[in-house]
Amino acid sequence: MMGLLTAFALFSFACARAFEDGMIAPVSPHKISLQSRSIPKGSSSFRRRALSPTSEPLADFFLGTDLQWFGNISVGTPPQELTVVFDTGSSTLEFASTLCGSVCPQKQFNPNLSSTFVDGGRTSSITFATGVGVDPVVGSNYKLTLRSAKDTVSVAGLSAPSISLFLITNQTPKFDIDPFSGIQGKTASFLGDFVQCFSHECRNGRYCPRNIRRPRETRTTSLYLTPKAVGNAELTLGGIDNSKFTGTPVFASLPSGSGSTWQLRSPKIFVNGQTTSVLNTARTIIFDSGTSNVLFPTATANAIYALISSDIKPNNDEPGTYGIACDLIDTLPATIDIGFTSQSGNNFNLTIPSSELNVGPFASNTSLCQTLINAFDGLDLVGGSLLKHYYSIWDVGNQRMGFAPAAGV
């Protein structure tokens, strides 16, 4: 539905609505637990240790346009390396395992080889209602079967024990094209617990006592999600990489009650410098690094497309999608500015340029190209098509998000 090229139906581990055990529900916060240890008397020196950010390079899954950014994690003892999408739109860790066998062509985790693995014994299934492919999601064609567990997990040199996770034990063939093994949810609950484990004492597999006081800035992660032509994408834990952006970041506060959801209030949307009564309406927009495109309610999607071209029409073969003749789409001006208010009270825009309008040809009609925005009532969400133009800062400690123009983009 949301997404990309021709006959390839790609899975967004990340997006929006999922069915768990057969019942539809939004992705719910899943708090990661870190095992704690008592701190000996006289250990106040823990608080004085120098802290510095650490980064993980990201690869870009690319089929005609950018899809997903993924990088390495390690699971178990001794560590087994896997690749996952780092996803601010979900809250759990799940990946292919040897319990899946030949059904999962991705690199698999073998729980029998980990001395710290604990089987949770609970099975569940998730059927995703949105993907990243141009092929439609039909019934249960995007379904994962999972088994709960816990084990030690390391990201970018930081290690935490007894992390809740899920082993993929079965999956439908739609996932076969994915080059990564799974997803690491990166909602605020994940960052609040995992990223706080950020000091020299907690690196390289050492335990991270919960009651050590850490500066708020250590509970920050940053993303440099670049187009493939630019490269050098990275995830930074515990701070920011000043070399990856230009200018000064602008910060906006998360709305009260956001919980684990990364979202900001937006007063209005402009298309090619224009707005309408529908677009000049306040809304709360979710930022999802695991989704490639944009989801807006039907009325908003229609209002945006009306300001771009009357030739953009819903594609009835795939509910929620829109398209236009491929020989016309690249000629259209389609700059989308989404307005926000900074912590200092100033208005600023995050811009999706015209180059993002073309998502690629539909499998059912290759002369028709899918456009950027999908209609999804009840949800306002932006993904990689916006984020790859900005260096984004996800600050749990100060309950805010920051943006600066991405260097080299």
Residues in CB range of 158: below 8 A, 6 or more apart: 54, 194, 195, 197, 198, 202, 203, 237, 238
C-beta of residue 356 within 8 angstroms of C-beta of residue 372? yes
Set 87, 151, 178, 395: catalytic member? 87
Which is nearest to 69 in space by CA: 245, 176, 223? 223
Pairing between strand 358-361 and 368-371?
antiparallel
C-beta of residue 292 within 8 angstroms of C-beta of residue 12? yes
Pairing between strand 118-128 and 17-20?
antiparallel
Rg, Å, the chain Cα set: 21
Judged by DSSP in three states, 92 sits in: coil
Return the DSSP state at 327. Answer: H
Return the DSSP state at 254. Answer: P
Would you state the structure tokens that stand for residue 215, as one six-digit string? 């500066």
Set 66, 135, 288, 395: catalytic member? 288
Q: What is the phi/psi pair of residue 320, to 5°?
A: 100, -20
Residues in CB range of 257: below 8 A, 6 or more apart: none
DSSP 16-37: SEEEETTEEEEPPP--------
Q: Which residue has the tokens 């799974």?
A: 182
Separation of alpha carbons 130 and 138, rounded Å: 10
Question: Is 288 a known active-site residue?
Answer: yes
Question: Is 87 a known active-site residue?
Answer: yes
The type of residue at 208 is C
Q: Which residue has the tokens 């990364």?
A: 262
Judged by DSSP in three states, 128 sits in: strand
The type of residue at 242 is N
DSSP 37-61: -PPPTT-GGGGGS----EEEE-EEE
Q: What is the CA angle 321-168-120, rounded to 5?
A: 130
Residues in CB range of 56: below 8 A, 6 or more apart: 71, 72, 155, 156, 234, 235, 236, 237
Pairing between strand 158-171 and 93-96?
parallel
Would you state the structure tokens that stand for residue 263, as one six-digit string? 């979202």
Active site residues: 87, 288
